[in-house]
Structure 1
Amino acid sequence: MPNFIPLINVRSVYNFQESLIKINDYISFAKKEKFEYLFYCENKTMFGVAEFFKKALEQNIKPIIGLSIELENKKIITLIPKNKIGYEHICLISSQLNDETKLNEEQIFNLLKNNIDSNTFLLTNVNDKDLFFNNAEIINTNENKIFFNTIRYIFDNEKEHYRGLFALKNGLTINEAVESYKINEAYPGADEVLEVFSETEKIGNYISNKVSLDIFGENKKHMAKFVAPDNMPSFSYLKQKCLAGLNHYFKNIKNQAIPTEYIERLNTELDVIEKTGFADYFLIVHDYVSYARKNDIIVGPGRGSAAGSLVSFLLRITTVDPIEYNLLFERFLNPERVTMPDIDIDFQDNRRDEVIEYLFEKYGKYNVATIVTYQTIAFKSAFRDACRIYQIDMELVNLITKSLSDDYLSFNEIIKTQKLIREYSEKEEFKSIFKLVEKLIGCPRQTGTHAAGIIISDVDLRTILPIRQGLNGIYQTQFDMNYLEEIGLIKMDLLGLRNLTTIKEILDLIKINHKKDLSLSKIDLNDGKTFEILRQGNTTGIFQLESQGMTNLIIDMKVNSINDIAAASSLYRPGPQEMIPEYINSKNNRKVKLVDRSLAKILLPTYGVIVYQEQVMQILQYVGNFSLGKADIVRRAMGKKQIDYMMEVKDEFIFNAIKNNYSQKKAAAIWNWIEQFAKYGFNKSHAIAYSYIGYWLAWFKAHYPAEFYTALLNGVMGNPSKTSKYIKEVKQFGIEVIKPSVKPISNKIEKTLIKSTYTSSENRIYMPLTLIKGIGRDFISTLNNVVDEHEDLFDDLNNFFFYMKNKGLNESNYTFLAKAGSFDCFGYNKSTMVANKDFIFSAMIAFNENISLEKQTKIENLFEEQLNEELESNYEKEVFGFYISANPLTKLKNENAYFKPTDINKLVENMNNVNIIGQVSGIRVIKDKNQNSMAFITVFDDTESIDLTVFASNFENLQYDLVANRNYVLKIKTQKYKNKITGILENIVKPI
């Protein structure tokens, strides 16, 4: 007799913060106890069902899944499907329970009556049998004495941990949790087992014997069907569209006859698509991409391996000619290793939802769904939660977690590698906390939505898997993406890309300002001015090229083509970075070393260095006579280090190479060389496609800088650091930046002219009022309404303040508007408008709205104040959070050049004894583990800000010299923390 029994109502961590039982732990426990079958039933949801089912099967344990419904007064109904029909029923019931409408008990009973039958077991502790019918096999657990407790942890020693979880769920301390809840929901002890084992085993075996279900076993694809015109077969329509696209491309764009190479490539691709049955997939993607283009939604040029498909190009799913760039179809769809196609599409991020809505309307609400994700608890979050439950001072918690360099290491790795955390884990008062933390790490806290994935099914999704209400009325799968393909569902990725939104905004501005309707496809890809900007390192705002390291590489490479941009983005990654010096040297000096001369055609475009996965495939094909399909399989095996397979294929490669007149030594050398680089190679299809986006942005920057920076600035509203950087750069292009004004941009009184975003006109960029502290869209809307009603609003300040009385203008936002210069249009400077606030508001109060403006007492004879540069700068910093006209820190750097200060934005890790000049914007003092005072300070200069740590040994001497809002020359050393450059303050060189 086993020590434990497989009980029915085992809750897992997928009932968030209601259980400590992780599926891996549950199955390991069952394996150890030699269970032949195992039950799994969440409350109302089925989030973990697919994971449980698959992992139980892998351990040769029969998975018995179900759905529990916990009602009031501890009443529980558990449904267990006997077969596929029963499974479909509980999927539908769970979907209904997780719809937008919350069902009461009577509605739940009606739902069960209408959806359960003899294909389902119904286990319950509800005594009223009259509630159920339709021949469902009912087992009342009270009568049969089956143990029906809800199980939330497995072992007795986890009781205290569950108390902690209960406290976390209910916002209690650990002591309050102990008082308020009796913990008894665990596997029964030995005595209880003996009491109920006989009946439980009998019923458990009975259920197990009657259940015959494999949720993954159908092996049927549920891809939606594309309805072609006149009900033409999908493949015939696909072929027709491709041929039309091919003819259009060469007749209207290339102006030449169709090369044989294109016809052969198209026939090859169509043959694979026909055999694999993916015609509908291509047509559906083509359809929603076409919808986006027709509705003026910017679509990316391509993403991932799909850019290697000529069919995708001819359907305008992608806009990169794969033959022109030597991209391979087999990297996308491999006829020798058939997997589901994966065409990822980028859309401008502010209109992606429109495309999803189109799919929802076209295919039906129960046929389209987003994909659930689970946000799991990482160490820092778990530690903070546990400390809060045990009432640990949060300042100490912040100190302990500050040292954490990587939050997503495993618990044991963190304890092993993080010295301070390890020290606290060994303290007696923290032992319970760390035990709870270990239990919490990896548990899902809540659901999220996959950033891109969409499912489109040919049948009601509720017959395949449970769904739930998602955002905007669109349903969401309850299974995550890892299990969808196995039940026949294809994930389509529709991604939102901010850079495409920026491009759309630039195009719209060019159309307004220059009366030009530009097309991205017509932009010259060999524009000298564009590449000159890149070679100068002027990469701010350029997709993928903006980081300092990438900028340096672009300069060193002397980029002059799309291919160069693609190579740079492919090389600037961990691993291939080590090849950058060789690549640059070979490119710039025109001295290329080849592993073998016969590979010149493949390797010369990248100067003898393997940069792309496609090159690995081509070498395997050329030297070893492998088909490109097999070459892709070998490439994957090399990347994953599948040693046994590689050894087998290596012999075949060398044998074939010898037949191709290579010596055995040379063949082995080539194999070893490509094996070394296969794991580093990047997907060329993706690199080329994404290089277009970077190039387009660079082209706009070169030719339409005002529109480029306007769109760029709109993308960073709320980010003072980037805004300040972009505004500083704008001036280098000779573009004037106009501060926010309450007056419309032109003299045409139009409501739309006072905007809440940046606008540009005649080589000027106009800042919006929303940048000013305390000014929101509601105020702008009110102001626009007043503008619309009163044409004479800006004749003088009397008109403005008379009409704005009781219209949202108050003393607080008046001050911010005045300091921002938004009243400069009335002929007075900022200081004058600030100084006369009380006088103006007194006059506003005196305004009588019942008599005409001409008869009011005038606001005149203002006391005029002088405005100096320093005051102007202070005003800007106060109301915008950054400087516009003149940054006093720039002046301070120039005056203190003797100290050789480094700009904060040019700091890199591991710099010692480096001086910076900046202002301390914040100081936070805490106690370290020895209860000594230390501090974290933030310092900014005219380029960026940096967080500095002042350790206790140093803070004791410096604490009275460090003052917020004061400027200093500081000596620091730098480090990297969470991919951000931070520092340690070594000394105050000089207050200034």
Structure 2
Amino acid sequence: MAKNLNIEAMALTDINNSSGMIDFVKECNNAGIKPLGGMEFRHKGELLFTAIANNNSGFEEINRLISAVNFGEINIKETHPQFNNSYVIFPFGRDIPHKLKENEFIGIKPSQALKLHSYKKQLTNKMIVSQPITFHDQKTFYLHKNLRAIDNNILFSRLKPEMHAAADEHFMDQKQVLRAFENYPQIIDNSKKIISSSEISFDYKSYKNKHSFTGSRYDDKILLKKLSLDGLKYRYGSKNKIALRRVESELEIIDKLGFSSYFLITWDIIRYSMSRGFYHVGRGSGANSIIAYCLRITDVDPIKLDLYFERFLNPRRSSPPDFDIDYSWKDRDEVQDYIFKRYGRDHTALLGTSVTFRGKSIYRELGKVHGLPKSEIDVLTRNPSTETGKNSLTRHIHEIAQLMTDFPNQRSIHA
């Protein structure tokens, strides 16, 4: 839709997270729209400020700030952002107890432009156009309010205006925006300045894994070979020529593709967990590797079971290998703690997943916010196809449910 409206640039500023930025930048580039990276910083729903990155370094400092908030290291409500490579945009109407710095502005919507007549020109010189886009039309605005009621765990009828986006947070024609600020050209100029001076890009081709375990790729190769041969003797004895040939073949491919460090890092984690007496299961296509077997990453003999290494890793494969290692819930946190401390917080991350609204769960959530008794919610959830047409309320819930399918529900930790 942005392309159809001839929009030249857009910034993605999700609330307290940036997980959508990678895909957003790619989609903008494909559509010929300039992408800007940023984030809305909120505290209990209240918009404190929006950050727009000048460049990738700015995007990094934005993410470092929200990480510090999530780790409980700072209170975002009491923190004044100190950015070197990002703009800070405060919401219009908020009290700002200090003089605005060079990289700080006030964002004002076109719908708020009529209030500017009471402001001094000096203050409007530090304003920019801010037109948030939260939904597409009135139908999706109503869907948005239902989602906010679900998130706040309240009846839809008790949803307050401050709990959801304003009704004007949708795409606007550029001419309409310019017309709203035709008497304040400095606001338009400020906005253009931020757009022209900001950029963000990502490398979608190179691997981001740690390149070396020992400090050099050659030493990684030597260490992996030594550990593999030691493991070969442990698993097969010292006279198994078939196993030796397979070990040498796999080592050659692993080195050629530059994945020695990946195997060594996994070995290091397994070594630690075994030293603690933690039981693990290595599964997935990694079980096809005799190197993984010799390093005790997996416990499946690929020769005995006639498993092919090429299914796991081969010279034509462009993506890194993948080990699936399972631990008991009793031991998992300690293993994760070791990984974070061993490799550093800046180089370690949990793998998240976004759970979406699907199937019967949608009807249960909508039933609650629209005041259905639990017994009726249970019936509706068990048989949505037969129950949704019985009265106007269930039909209404069914209409909303069709729009809600695949919308994000919650974030969780995958691995």
Please report the TM-score for the alignment, with normalisation by the length of structure 1. 0.36
Letter in 2 for 1:354: E
Aligned to 2:112: none
Aligned to 1:122: 88
CA distance 1:445–1:208, change in 2 (3 Å): same
Deviations 1:397-433, CA, capped at 9 Å, x for gaps: 32232225xxxxxxxxxxxxx3x15634xx5444433
Aligned to 1:438: 402
Distance 2:39 2:306 in 1: 52
**Does residue 296 of structure 2 align to residue 316 of structure 1?**
yes
2:226 to 213, 229, 240: 240
Counterparts of 1:93-112 in structure 2, within 5 Å, are: 93-101=65-73, 103-106=75-78, 108-109=79-80, 112=81
Aligned to 2:155: 173
2:389 to 399, 423, 426: 423
Q: Aligned to 2:159, what secondary structure does the other structure show?
A: helix
Counterparts of 1:128-139 in structure 2, within 5 Å, are: 128=96, 130=98, 133=101, 137-139=103-105
Counterparts of 1:401-550 in structure 2, within 5 Å, are: 401-403=381-383, 418=385, 420-421=386-387, 423-424=389-390, 427-450=391-414, 453=415
CA distance 1:227–1:338, change in 2 (3 Å): same
Aligned to 1:496: none
CA distance 1:266–1:169, change in 2 (3 Å): closer
Q: Aligned to 2:14, what secondary structure does the other structure show?
A: strand
Deviations 1:918-962, CA, capped at 9 Å, x for gaps: xxxxxxxxxxxxxxxxxxxxxxxxxxxxxxxxxxxxxxxxxxxxx
Counterparts of 1:205-284 in structure 2, within 5 Å, are: 205-217=192-204, 219-223=206-210, 225-227=212-214, 233-251=219-237, 257-259=239-241, 261-284=242-265
Aligned to 2:169: 186
Shift of 1:282: 0.9
Structure 1: runs of 5+ lacking an equivalent: 1-28, 405-417, 454-992
CA contact (8 A) 1:127 1:140 kept: no
Distance 2:138 2:326 in 1: 51
Distance 2:363 2:354 in 1: 19
Q: Aligned to 2:3, what secondary structure does the other structure show?
A: helix
CA contact (8 A) 2:149 2:155 kept: yes
Counterparts of 1:362-761 in structure 2, within 5 Å, are: 362-403=342-383, 418=385, 420-421=386-387, 423-424=389-390, 427-450=391-414, 453=415
**Higher RCO (Cα < 8 Å, 6 or more apart):** 2
1:84 to 56, 70, 81: 56
Shift of 1:217: 4.9
Number of residues of Structure 1 aligned to a counterpart in Structure 2: 392
Letter in 2 for 1:238: L
Q: Aligned to 1:369, what secondary structure does the other structure show?
A: coil
1:288 to 264, 269, 276: 269
Deviations 1:726-752, CA, capped at 9 Å, x for gaps: xxxxxxxxxxxxxxxxxxxxxxxxxxx
Aligned to 1:65: 37
Q: Aligned to 2:271, what secondary structure does the other structure show?
A: helix
Q: Aligned to 1:55, what secondary structure does the other structure show?
A: helix
CA contact (8 A) 1:155 1:186 kept: no
Please report the TM-score for the alignment, with normalisation by the length of structure 2. 0.80
Deviations 1:321-362, CA, capped at 9 Å, x for gaps: 322322111111111123201122233443233322322332
CA distance 1:220–1:336, change in 2 (3 Å): closer
Q: Aligned to 1:351, what secondary structure does the other structure show?
A: helix
**Does residue 302 of structure 2 align to residue 304 of structure 1?**
no
Structure 2: runs of 5+ lacking an equivalent: 109-123
Distance 2:329 2:44 in 1: 44
CA contact (8 A) 1:43 1:69 kept: yes
Deviations 1:600-646, CA, capped at 9 Å, x for gaps: xxxxxxxxxxxxxxxxxxxxxxxxxxxxxxxxxxxxxxxxxxxxxxx
What fraction of aligned residue pairs are identical, expressed as a percent?
A: 25
Shift of 1:160: 3.6
Q: Aligned to 1:68, what secondary structure does the other structure show?
A: strand
Aligned to 2:114: none
Deviations 1:506-560, CA, capped at 9 Å, x for gaps: xxxxxxxxxxxxxxxxxxxxxxxxxxxxxxxxxxxxxxxxxxxxxxxxxxxxxxx
- What do you get for the CA RMSD once the two structures are aligned? 3.5
CA distance 1:102–1:444, change in 2 (3 Å): farther
Shift of 1:443: 2.5
CA contact (8 A) 2:211 2:217 kept: no
Shift of 1:317: 1.9
CA contact (8 A) 2:178 2:188 kept: no
Q: Aligned to 2:13, what secondary structure does the other structure show?
A: strand
Deviations 1:1-54, CA, capped at 9 Å, x for gaps: xxxxxxxxxxxxxxxxxxxxxxxxxxxx32332323222112332232233233
CA distance 1:277–1:403, change in 2 (3 Å): same
CA contact (8 A) 1:152 1:185 kept: no
2:28 to 56, 61, 64: 56
Letter in 2 for 1:396: E
Shift of 1:171: 4.3
CA distance 1:39–1:180, change in 2 (3 Å): closer
Q: Aligned to 2:66, what secondary structure does the other structure show?
A: helix
Q: Aligned to 2:226, what secondary structure does the other structure show?
A: helix
Deviations 1:288-333, CA, capped at 9 Å, x for gaps: 2122223322233x41222221211222222333223221111111
CA contact (8 A) 1:333 1:339 kept: no
Distance 2:208 2:152 in 1: 43
